[in-house]
Structure 1
């Protein structure tokens, strides 16, 4: 069951957007990775739980493949609205479709938190930090963690070309948090110019913004390979034990 967003007024400030139209080829699974089971529930449900449990998040829009046959079998009943929209070929198309849907109910000045469907270990503390840090920011930003490993640049055959200075390098995470109107405009401009941006921050950069990096937890992993499931299960158990969700 999916709730309708029109049951809530547009004056609410924070909305979650979850692009989930991908099939996760690297998992080697017969079903998209967001529907794989983790601690007895689909990964995407853990992700929704984390976002919708935050008191400042008013609802969510989930962008799914036109041929998605798994979502309808999940129990998606929440006490906040969850709306399904059709996703696109790439992440940027899915997010833009979700923003167009959301624009019918929310204000352009509302904040949008775009979060990967396969990041189920997001903590309440990271959400709090992201929201409070960016609340008065004109550009928005994203959760990220500084690069700690030595970085190598390689040629196509895999041989090292050089070592990249890791100072000031960050791993981009999600959520990525921007004003609804600004992000919609940025994605529209990038796509019109045939720029296939890989995340929302890249779209904002394309139109001249400098998103703020907000330090987050390394436990906010994205499940992309089979071995990531065990690590995510460990993080979820640790978070539940220490009640740090």
Structure 2
């Protein structure tokens, strides 16, 4: 039996991978299928997750996606069709789980292959005694601006953090919060935002800057650098 302190024993994982990535269309493939050192981004991400022996892994894909079938490790996942937006896709994944209300569920972006397994475990162990759950984040270090037409204003970055994944929450809090947010047409961009909308206070655990989410073509070079130099083990 795996030691819960060094594994994801007792945790189910949802991996949203239904995005097409309009900013990456010039690459000719959805960003999760871009290859780095002979492996797709999705494969690298899934390999890290399975290394930690979670109870289940739910992979959420686009209805038109057949590329996932070419990745051997996907055979160990349960594949679910995603929805219109990321939030809908996560909810579809959660809906397939048969778990207890307070069981922990982890959501991790398919296009964050550089997440450190040590950070996943730190978060998983940190939320075991937390009422709701929590997520990885890093403090913002750049100067922030709002730009509306020709109006430019600097934002006070004090106390501003950039949320990452994984995010790990107790099933009932996460499922209910996302369901209610969608029902009320709230625009949410990650799971912790849904949790916050309904008055819950998630735990924030500092992550690392190499846990990059691929959104632009330039991010691929950064991912390649981190993976090649062992910066995100």
1:107 correspondence with 2:100 = yes
Once the two structures are TM-superposed, the CA of residue 154 in structure 1 deviates from its matched residue by 1.6
Q: Is the 8 A contact 2:47 2:73 kept in 1?
A: no
CA distance in 1, matches of 2:200, 2:17: 26
Structure 1 runs not aligned, ≥5 long? 1-11
Aligned to 2:172: 181
Q: Is the 8 A contact 1:38 1:233 kept in 2?
A: yes
| TM-score when normalising by structure 1 | 0.87
CA distance in 2, matches of 1:108, 1:96: 15
1:92 correspondence with 2:87 = yes
CA distance in 2, matches of 1:87, 1:224: 19
Residues 81-115 of structure 1, C-alpha deviation per residue, up to 9 Å, x if partnerless? Answer: 4100010000110000000111x3x2222211111
Aligned to 2:4: none
CA distance in 1, matches of 2:38, 2:150: 39
Q: Is the 8 A contact 1:52 1:58 kept in 2?
A: no
Once the two structures are TM-superposed, the CA of residue 35 in structure 1 deviates from its matched residue by 0.7
Q: How does 1:15-30 map to 2 (within 5 A)?
A: 15-28=12-25, 29-30=27-28
CA distance in 1, matches of 2:217, 2:37: 14
Aligned to 1:49: 47
2:59 aligned residue (55, 58, 62): 62
CA distance in 1, matches of 2:93, 2:132: 20
Give the root-mean-square deviation of aligned CA atoms: 1.5
- Secondary structure, in 3 states, of the residue corresponding to 1:76? helix
| TM-score when normalising by structure 2 | 0.91
1:72 aligned residue (69, 73, 81): 69
Aligned to 1:150: 143
Residues 23-69 of structure 1, C-alpha deviation per residue, up to 9 Å, x if partnerless? Answer: 011012332110111111110011111111114x2221011111112
Aligned to 1:169: 160
Aligned to 1:5: none
Number of residue-to-residue matches in the alignment: 224
Structure 2 runs not aligned, ≥5 long? 1-8
